[in-house]
A and B are shown apart, each in its own frame.
Chain A
Amino acid sequence: MITELIAIGLVLSACLAIYLDEAIYSVASLACAIILLTLLYALNGASYAAVFQLALGAGTLAVLFLTGEMLSEKPNREKPLKNIIFVSILALLLSLPLIFFPITVVPANSSSSITFGNALWNLRSIDVILQGLVILTVSLGIVIILHEKERGEK
Chain B
Amino acid sequence: MMNFMLLSATLLAIGIYGLLSKRHLVKILISIELIAMGASMNFILLASSSNIALGEAFLALAFSTDTCLTAIILALLIIAAKKYGTCDVRKLAEIAESEQGKNENGGDE
In the complex, how many angstroms separate the beta carbon of A15 from the nearest chain B beta carbon? 6
In the complex, how many angstroms separate the beta carbon of B13 from the nearest chain A beta carbon? 8
Q: How far is the CA of A18 from the CA of B37 in the complex (A)?
A: 14
Q: Is the interface of A mostly helix, strand, loop or mixed?
A: helix
Which of A44, A103, A120, A123 is close to B48, meaning CB atoms less than 8 Å apart? A44
Residues in B neighbouring A107, C-beta threshold 8 A = 49-51
B72 touches A30 (CB 8 A): no
Residues in A neighbouring B25, C-beta threshold 8 A = 71
B interface, how many residues as a size bin? 35 or more
When C-beta atoms are compared, the residue in chain A nearest to B18 turns out to be A18
B34 touches A131 (CB 8 A): no
- Quick one: given A44-B48, A67-B78, A108-B51, are A52 and B60 in contact (CB under 8 Å)? yes
Number of A-B contacts (CB under 8 A): 190
Q: How far is the CA of A146 from the CA of B88 in the complex (A)?
A: 21
Residues in B neighbouring A120, C-beta threshold 8 A = 57, 60
A149 touches B10 (CB 8 A): no
The list of the 10 closest CB pairs from A to B, nearest first, reads A18-B18, A119-B57, A46-B48, A138-B68, A103-B3, A120-B57, A105-B49, A23-B26, A49-B44, A142-B75
Report 19 cross-chain contacts, Cβ distance below 8 Å, ordered by A residue: A14-B10, A14-B14, A17-B18, A26-B27, A30-B34, A37-B37, A44-B48, A46-B44, A48-B60, A49-B59, A71-B81, A94-B10, A103-B3, A108-B51, A112-B51, A114-B54, A118-B53, A120-B57, A124-B54
Chain A interface (Cβ < 8 Å from any Cβ of B): 3-4, 7, 10-11, 14-15, 17-18, 23, 26-27, 30, 33-34, 37, 40-41, 44-46, 48-49, 52-53, 56, 59-60, 63-64, 67-68, 71-73, 94-95, 97-99, 101-105, 107-108, 111-112, 114-116, 118-120, 123-124, 127-128, 131, 134-135, 138-139, 141-142, 145-146, 149
